Structure 1
Amino acid sequence: MTEDKTPDQTAPQPAPEGQLAKTFEPAAIEARWYAHWEQSGLFRPARPDAVPFTIVNPPPNVTGSLHIGHALDNTLQDIVIRYERLRGKDALWVVGTDHAGIATQMVVERQLEARQDKRTNYTREQFIDKVWEWKAESGGTITGQLRRLGCSMDWSREQFTMDPHFTTAVVKVFVDLYNQGLIYRDKRLVNWDPKLKTAISDLEVETREIKGSFWHFRYPLADGITLANGADHIVVATTRPETMLADMAVAVNADDPRYQSVIGKFIEQPITGRRIPIVADEHADPELGSGAVKITPGHDFNDFEVGKRAGFKPADMLNMFDAEAKVVQTSDGLIPADFVGIDRFDARAQVVAQMKALGRLVTFSVTAKDGEVTEKDAEDRTIQTPFGDRGGVVIEPWLTDQWYVDAATLAQPPLQAVRDGRIEIVPKTWEKTFFNWMENIQPWCVSRQLWWGHRIPAWYGFDLRPDDSGTNGKTWVGHPDECTVFVATTFDDAKAQAEAFLKQIGDDHSEIIEAADKAEAIEQWNDIQRPIYSIWQDSDVLDTWFSSALWPFATLGWPQSSPSTCDGEGDRAAGVVEGHSTQAAPPSSLRAATSPSQVDGENLLARHYPNDLLISGFDILFFWDARMAMQGMHFMRDQNGEGVPPWKRLYLHGLVRAADGQKMSKSKGNVVDPLVLIDQFGADALRFFMAAMESQGRDVKMDERRVEGYRNFATKLWNAARFCQSNGISASSTLAAPDATLAVNKWIIGEVVDTLAELDKAMADLRFDAAANAIYHFVWDQFCDWYIELIKGAFDDETKAVAGWVLDQILVMLHPFMPFVTEELWHALGERDSELIVARWPEPGAAVDAAAKVEVEWLISLVGNLRGAKAELGIAPGAKLEAYLPEPSEATRAIISRNTGAIDRLARLSAIHFAPAPDGAAMQVGAGDANLIVPLDGVIDIAAEKARLTKALATSEKERDNIAKRLDNPAFVEKAKPEAIDKARADHAGHAAEATRLAAALARLG
């Protein structure tokens, strides 16, 4: 069972003279073997003729550290890649980290703040240099922690989403999509973080329940009109009164008879005096409140859509906040001066106070328990409030100019790929969610107001038209904000576009230069000493999800014409023109630290795209997985021009939750650190726990006791290997099963065959729990508990050969789950041609021997049932007994005759008589088709034992029935905490099982 490749370096020795230590200590083993695997290049051995198998890791944030979700996600990936590597495939696990725009910029800014410094004291380039310095010094924490987990990633090709070769891909994708009309600039509402002063994605918004208020206001009808009931106002309600400073309409339902006569009329907003129309829209529900809704399209997502339906262009929608959520004057100049410059929440209080002073606030009478009546200005409400997960402040819907991707168009090919099976989603139940989101997808905002990240490759120049005034023949059209955009991969390309633009309007003389920003461009423009045309690059950067969406193909060298050379200085040059960078390139002093290793001249893209599998948490299905599918199918096409999905299968796992099922969070104090668990129990134990608990479609509940149990499992295997080693059992020299004549050896070979089939099926189905349980039960039950017991004292050459072969099969099959202990044992058992990590997957070349299986399972059944019966009746385990079997079948008689020694040693039966049993108390023990009778006279006090069992049975039945009554009580089930109900059910099951066991014991006594 060896791999053709022999590593250049000598494998580390597991112990002096090859003898296993008495105690299994994982820490030293893990550090030693991981370093050896990586240094020897064994995470991707040279297999140019093998079938390729490829996965990519969801790139963790470069600022991050290993959390329990990473541990689950990366353990599952490592199990798959080690499994496929053992099966002889050219298994590539692409690894890297994400530059994490907001998170990384925050880390560096906090460092500056600690030194009483700030970002704005530096130029953009100087600050970016500081980020690269931080990345070189501290940005590799999580990659070291992934190594501790045992992840066999191809670190020689480690990627970073800000590496120049990757930036080249990002810039090309942006420019191509823009030229194809699939990226555009638009004025829309975004989630705005006033603390970070940037747009953020939905993923970065967390909703919290906040105690708040619900105010009702009277908006006066204009021009003396009234409602049908004579009222001269309409009542509107809001949780955000400050936004009325930018109200543009009041919406009512067209079918609401109260307001039909005033649709198309106007309201005069009390504070601003702004005349706003009453519009008909289904957003207004006649059954809710007054049935009328104030519409502020520049500061509410629903209102934005109502405003568009009402005919307001986004460019005309009023904006009342600046980037810090302080009040600014609207374009119509109607906000009173005393509001301008104050914070949004101060503005809220001031609006309420002024509306109350104007008599426009609707108050409420509240009666206390003692009958006292008080007036309140607002209703108390629990409000679902959006917060930025990093800035920690309330998110403001804000109307800004941003860059958007036409996600609806890009979503069509992935939708079809899932429908026709080119992308298989596992579990299949996630397909419905995928379809629902992708079919209703909204434009994707990809711009962020940061310095760290991929700078948007767009330059702006003032829109021009010929002017006969004689002043350089140039004039702005309308306003300096009206600009022409030049989207290009480099400044030189943008300059060429600007030249073409100037020629189009008849200007062949202006010099084109680059300004730092718009303000500098205006200064240059006003310099009439020479004809110049200034262009400046967009200051925004791209959302990190935009770049990570290219992960499956940009990491393999795309878009270079020779994707096999996806790094090095040549790639850097491809993305940078001297002095004019479209990216945040690292300083030259840091280039070696950020450059991936050279690729060995192979065409990675052609060989490893599409990837075979993506393993991902379901929580990033839309933010990452779906976007990879969109970008991959748009840019990677086959010979017929059809989009090629980035992977063939998408496996979505659940979350790791606390033991009580709650979501882990620092605020709850229930976060589990996987590194602490590794320190306590070893990486193998944690990995096996993750696999065994990963059941498709369900979250994983953290259970430290089970992790400890799998550490005990590793120890059991260690002790079994020590036992084999001490009895002359060593490494096998054959891939196929050895010849066997003894039933016990035929049986264990058959168990290997069955386990291997079960394991392969589970892995094919991505049933990690089933795969882990298959190898667990084979190792613990069949091999350690029974096979070793059955062969004790009978170590002939055949048995030694079979036992060594079976132990080898165990180490190989278990290796994907527990790589460290298996590699250590692999070498401890004898000389090897290769490390276990690159050994060959089992090929027993044998079948299950049905007769041997029946014989050994009969023996196991006898021993197990007899031991259980002794325990039930309080008989010492070592007590020797005799049994009677009056009319055995020929098959049973033959089994007994061939296994008398094992029956005596394991079942402690000195004899089995093929005759009727003597009269008297006896117990009956089943095995196969036989029912053995074991006399008990003189063995135990029958009367006393019956009394003991009867009393214990009554106690268990009483406890069982009492708990059953509690569970049948609706009041208990409705009011008790979930954990109390779970405990009650567990207790009931325990007492019920004990009652059954005791009843069976009494029945044995007759």
Structure 2
Amino acid sequence: MKAIELEKAYNPKDFEDRVYSAWETGGHFQPKSGPESPFVVVIPPPNVTGVLHMGHGLNNSLQDIVVRYHRMRGEPTLWVPGTDHAGIATQNVVEKRLKKEGKSRHDLGREAFVERTWEVKKEHHETITRQLRKIGASVDWTRERFTLDEGLSRSVREVFVTLYERGLIYRGNYLVNWCTSCGTALADDEVEHEDTNGAMYHIWYELEAGSALPDGSTRIEIATTRPETLLGDTAVAVHPEDERYASLIGKHVHLPLTGRMIPIVADTYVDRTFGTGMVKITPAHDPNDWEVSKRHNLPVINILNPDGTLNAEVPEKYRGLKCPAARKAVIEDLKELGLFKEEKKITHAVGKCYRCNTVVEPYLSDQWFVKMRPLADKALDAWKKGEIRFYPQKWENTYSRWMEGIRDWCISRQLWWGHRIPVWYCRDCGEMIVSRDDPASCSKCGSAKIEQDSDVLDTWFSSWLWPFSTLGWPEKTPDLESFYPTTALVTAYDIIFFWVARMVMAGLEFTGKAPFRDIYIHGLVRDKQGRKMSKSLGNGIDPLEIVDEFGADALKFTLAFMCAAGQDILVDKESFKMGSRFANKIWNASRYILGNLEGRELVSVPKSGLTELDRWIYHRLNAAAGAVRSALESYRYNDGAQAIYEFFWNDFCDWYVEATKLSFRNGDDAEKNRAVSVLLSVLEESLRLVHPFLPFVTEEIYGFLPAACARSADDSLGLAERASLLISASYPESNENRCDEAAEARFTALQEMVRSIRGLRVECGIDPASKIGIALFTEAGSDAAVAREKVDILQMLAGLSRVDFIPSPSDRPKGAIGTVGKGFEAFILVGEGVDSGQLANRFEKEILKEQGNASRLEAKLGNASFVSNAPEDVVAAEKSKLDELRRRIEKLSGYVADLR
């Protein structure tokens, strides 16, 4: 056999695009039929006008790892890709472009505007799909969906009409969250609350003639953060049991600046211990006031236009002003009238639009709503029955709390881009028609003068159907039959409310089944300072920049390695060097093995032909396979990444590959053939083990392996054809027949011995490249006795010129420096390449340094103030450091005594 030459330098740009193309064109992303239950994941659809950020990089990397793992297990595996039309975000992108042209959407008209938006969608969609390919996402592109495609549009309409028929969708004039910039209503979950610097403004309201407080005062004090809203006040409220104001209930006050009189009502909503215990009631602009108004049949006065300016319900001088300007004008006028008491600076939570960060206004308007309580009760019950399970489990509390306190969902949006609400109104008879199909005429009077509701549905209204609409529902398609319910959802915690909980509700309501079994919630990717990545901070990292610099495998492996359950990930660009170094290690180890095939013949190796070293590496490989399988079955990505890293880098490369060099150095042809066959077998299986985490480099190397490669079986290594591509190869099994606890114990002892000797060399300042001799004592019957049989391995791995076995530690040579481990003591033979005087001087300097450190710690611990005030664990840690320093000083002093 000829040597196989890999390129000397690992360069992912040489093969990643080619490898991905081979996977995709070969149909390897499509589910294969088989006896196993399918494993199905639907991608959290990115916004079609967005660009993938590092959060997408993490989310898609984690999905890809688990999808590749289950695919290699032989399960019919489907990962459904797709994008979301993102109503508000996409419309904003198009409107900004039009603004640069000096136009608005109204200049184009609805139809032309929607056509322009489809063009933008196409442009951005191509960018997103290209990015997903670059990071290696093994999605089934033949099943790609879009939330506005024909099939999903039909699903959306079916759900709307069905919910309406079931009495779960209704239309009404209610207080909603309104974004004046986007010009649309928002659901409660789309409002992000930020602590903002503001003020509490204290204002005097004058009582009607003949009324007074018990102290004789004829005016009351009201405090508000939004004084401009007083123009829409319709009452003042006090607590019914507040004795201070009992005589005023039913009386009236003059509403400043308006000429109106408003009543004083009693309501338990008022906190009588807060402020003055009197609250202005503005029903159209505060959700709590809205509820008070319903209890007392108060008028509701909306003072805002949709664009956030004040409307004709306010005095003329304030009309057309935006809220900040109106606030300033109101305060100035109140001061002039002597009705402004004071302003106190405060910090308070202010609701802002999750898309454009504009301050959200409570706003009264006609909107469509979904009654959520009946849907939420089913979803809560499914969780209690264990039909869905969260990883990590702590997120169950977030899910259940939100479900228990759920409010109706405002689903209408005042946009042009999205699913048009399937409701029509007859201009002749006023009939409202809710229909699955576009009607040609009024169902009541037959008039053709009907027009469709101008609003569109909330983007999440199509997204909550994603697990089953993407598979063809409401049609009974083969995909729906085969792949629903899906298996797992992988997503971030910030959309548990927006998306996860709603999908569970929709799945149960329309299919009778929870849409997935496992819900893995990962953290967010943040910068090294723990800040959320954002354009405004300029701290974002483009995943494609990482791919370009380090490769897709480095991106995927690093993120998985750092993804501890329930924690956010703190990264910068330097972080990805770790994944790059690991990929490079895999490349170089494989290059070495394949480069040693010259003149070799691959052979079948019976179990009896395996050396103890071989049995040890198979034991370690078996343990790693079990650890990775266990980790991925419970979505512990970092544990799986750690297991493959420790096995491949440490066990395989640093120990096994190094130790096998003895066979190539000293063995005859038969031994070399045997050794290379086993080595290739372990490499081939290791590549299969690592593949889900580093798919590109493992696939590229796998293609260079000999077509007939030794494959491990229960009791032998037989020659077998490798798979055409690694992506379709089988994942390593954990098989107890390959366990060898004795070999594991003996080689663990040998590893401890080597590490101890290496550590002693470092402590003595001995050049790692220089060969030294040691005297070694091993306890009879201990695992450490393996050194007597494996002395050649010990010498090679520890960099030794010779090993002299001694009957007891007392027989050590004079001046030898020792280290102790379980079942052994090893002594460096000073004098053989080691200057004893120079070494003694080194130790004496180290002693002086450590004595200084010890003195400082002793002084610190002798300080009564520190000991009494510092936390117990801090004091204990300092004491432990001091004990360790004293032990080290004692040990070094012993070395010096021996050397002198």
TM-score by length of 1: 0.81
Paired residue secondary structure (1:285):
coil
Cα distance change on mapping 1:547 and 1:731 into 2, 3 Å = farther
Q: Once structures 1 and 2 are overlaid, which stretch shifts more, 426-435 or 942-951?
A: 942-951
Match of 2:492 in 1: 617
Match of 1:803 in 2: 679
Cα distance change on mapping 1:190 and 1:782 into 2, 3 Å = same
Q: Is the 8 A contact 1:735 1:844 kept in 2?
A: no
Instruction: Determine which of 857, 875, 881 is the counterpart of 2:748.
Output: 857
Distance (Å, rounded) in 2 between the aligned partners of 1:991 and 1:733: 58
Instruction: Determine which of 462, 473, 476 is the counterpart of 1:558.
Output: 473
Match of 1:764 in 2: 633
Match of 1:790 in 2: 659
Distance (Å, rounded) in 2 between the aligned partners of 1:736 and 1:841: 22
Match of 2:731 in 1: 841
State the AA in 2 paired with 1:557: G
Q: Is the 8 A contact 1:740 1:746 kept in 2?
A: no
Q: Is the 8 A contact 1:190 1:399 kept in 2?
A: yes
State the AA in 2 paired with 1:949: F
Give the C-alpha shift of residue 175 in structure 1: 0.4
Give the C-alpha shift of residue 942 in structure 1: 4.1
Q: Is the 8 A contact 2:50 2:124 kept in 1?
A: no
Q: Is the 8 A contact 1:213 1:239 kept in 2?
A: yes
Instruction: Determine which of 25, 28, 40 is the counterpart of 2:26.
Output: 40
Match of 1:51 in 2: 37
Q: Is the 8 A contact 2:745 2:783 kept in 1?
A: no
Match of 1:910 in 2: 802
Give the C-alpha shift of residue 860 in structure 1: 1.9
- Residue 327 (1) aligns with residue 274 (2): no
Give the C-alpha shift of residue 999 in structure 1: 6.7
Give the C-alpha shift of residue 914 in structure 1: 3.5
Cα distance change on mapping 1:94 and 1:991 into 2, 3 Å = farther
Q: Once structures 1 and 2 are overlaid, which stretch shifts more, 761-770 or 391-400?
A: 391-400
Paired residue secondary structure (1:219):
strand
Instruction: Determine which of 611, 627, 633 is the counterpart of 2:502.
Output: 627
Match of 2:757 in 1: 866
Distance (Å, rounded) in 1 between the aligned partners of 2:416 and 2:144: 24
Match of 2:435 in 1: 488
Distance (Å, rounded) in 2 between the aligned partners of 1:542 and 1:988: 65
Distance (Å, rounded) in 1 between the aligned partners of 2:408 and 2:18: 50
Residue by residue, what CA displacement relative to the aligned partner does 1:120-144 show, whole Å, maximum 9, x if unpaired?
1122112111111222233321221
Q: Once structures 1 and 2 are overlaid, which stretch shifts more, 713-722 or 281-290?
A: 281-290
Instruction: Determine which of 371, 384, 393 is the counterpart of 1:428.
Output: 393
Distance (Å, rounded) in 1 between the aligned partners of 2:163 and 2:600: 58
- Residue 83 (1) aligns with residue 18 (2): no
Q: Is the 8 A contact 1:730 1:829 kept in 2?
A: no
Map 1:462-611; keep pairs closer than 5 Å. 483-492=430-439, 495=441, 498-499=442-443, 501-502=444-445, 511-513=446-448, 534-560=449-475, 562-563=476-477, 603-611=478-486
Distance (Å, rounded) in 2 between the aligned partners of 1:394 and 1:731: 73
Cα distance change on mapping 1:412 and 1:798 into 2, 3 Å = same
Match of 1:507 in 2: none
Q: Once structures 1 and 2 are overlaid, which stretch shifts more, 742-751 or 23-32?
A: 23-32
Match of 1:178 in 2: 164
Q: State the percentage of identical aligned residues.
A: 40
Distance (Å, rounded) in 1 between the aligned partners of 2:849 and 2:745: 39
Match of 2:411 in 1: 446
Distance (Å, rounded) in 1 between the aligned partners of 2:862 and 2:416: 62
Give the C-alpha shift of residue 752 in structure 1: 0.7
Residue by residue, what CA displacement relative to the aligned partner does 1:723-778 show, whole Å, maximum 9, x if unpaired?
11112299999999966431100100111111111111111221111110001000
Match of 2:334 in 1: 355
Q: Is the 8 A contact 1:737 1:805 kept in 2?
A: no
- Residue 936 (1) aligns with residue 851 (2): no
Match of 1:403 in 2: 368
Give the C-alpha shift of residue 112 in structure 1: 2.0
Distance (Å, rounded) in 1 between the aligned partners of 2:335 and 2:729: 80
Distance (Å, rounded) in 2 between the aligned partners of 1:339 and 1:724: 82
Cα distance change on mapping 1:843 and 1:404 into 2, 3 Å = same
Match of 1:241 in 2: 227
Q: Is the 8 A contact 2:237 2:265 kept in 1?
A: yes
State the AA in 2 paired with 1:22: K
Q: Once structures 1 and 2 are overlaid, which stretch shifts more, 854-863 or 88-97?
A: 854-863
Cα distance change on mapping 1:630 and 1:253 into 2, 3 Å = same
Paired residue secondary structure (1:460):
strand
Q: Once structures 1 and 2 are overlaid, which stretch shifts more, 649-658 or 301-310?
A: 301-310
Give the C-alpha shift of residue 863 in structure 1: 1.8
Give the C-alpha shift of residue 968 in structure 1: 13
Distance (Å, rounded) in 1 between the aligned partners of 2:890 and 2:537: 45
Paired residue secondary structure (2:318):
coil
Match of 1:519 in 2: none
Give the C-alpha shift of residue 910 in structure 1: 1.2
Match of 1:780 in 2: 649
The answer for unaligned runs of 5 or more in structure 2 is 665-670, 708-721, 867-875
The answer for unaligned runs of 5 or more in structure 1 is 1-15, 364-377, 465-482, 503-510, 514-533, 564-602, 638-643, 973-984
- Residue 691 (1) aligns with residue 560 (2): yes
Distance (Å, rounded) in 2 between the aligned partners of 1:81 and 1:948: 56
Give the C-alpha shift of residue 553 in structure 1: 0.1
Q: Is the 8 A contact 2:421 2:454 kept in 1?
A: yes
Distance (Å, rounded) in 1 between the aligned partners of 2:79 and 2:155: 20
Residue by residue, what CA displacement relative to the aligned partner does 1:653-702 show, whole Å, maximum 9, x if unpaired?
11111112222223323222222122121111111111111111111111
Cα distance change on mapping 1:664 and 1:999 into 2, 3 Å = farther
Cα distance change on mapping 1:963 and 1:259 into 2, 3 Å = farther
Map 1:721-760; keep pairs closer than 5 Å. 721-728=590-597, 740-760=609-629
Give the C-alpha shift of residue 38 in structure 1: 1.1
Cα distance change on mapping 1:915 and 1:968 into 2, 3 Å = closer
- Residue 825 (1) aligns with residue 704 (2): no
Match of 1:659 in 2: 528
Map 1:332-411; keep pairs closer than 5 Å. 335-363=314-342, 378-411=343-376
Give the C-alpha shift of residue 923 in structure 1: 2.1
Paired residue secondary structure (1:387):
strand
Q: Is the 8 A contact 1:960 1:991 kept in 2?
A: yes
- Residue 63 (1) aligns with residue 45 (2): no
Q: Is the 8 A contact 1:729 1:801 kept in 2?
A: no
Cα distance change on mapping 1:954 and 1:631 into 2, 3 Å = farther
Distance (Å, rounded) in 1 between the aligned partners of 2:383 and 2:189: 24
Give the C-alpha shift of residue 987 in structure 1: 14
Q: Once structures 1 and 2 are overlaid, which stretch shifts more, 680-689 or 767-776?
A: 680-689
State the AA in 2 paired with 1:169: S
Distance (Å, rounded) in 1 between the aligned partners of 2:879 and 2:574: 22
Give the C-alpha shift of residue 463 in structure 1: 8.6
TM-score by length of 2: 0.90
State the AA in 1 paired with 2:530: G
Match of 2:716 in 1: none
State the AA in 2 paired with 1:630: M
Cα distance change on mapping 1:971 and 1:655 into 2, 3 Å = farther
Distance (Å, rounded) in 2 between the aligned partners of 1:731 and 1:235: 96
Instruction: Determine which of 102, 105, 130 is the counterpart of 2:116.
Output: 130
Distance (Å, rounded) in 2 between the aligned partners of 1:165 and 1:964: 75
- The count of aligned residue pairs is 862
Distance (Å, rounded) in 1 between the aligned partners of 2:628 and 2:88: 43
Give the C-alpha shift of residue 162 in structure 1: 0.3
Q: Is the 8 A contact 2:235 2:262 kept in 1?
A: yes
Give the C-alpha shift of residue 85 in structure 1: 0.2
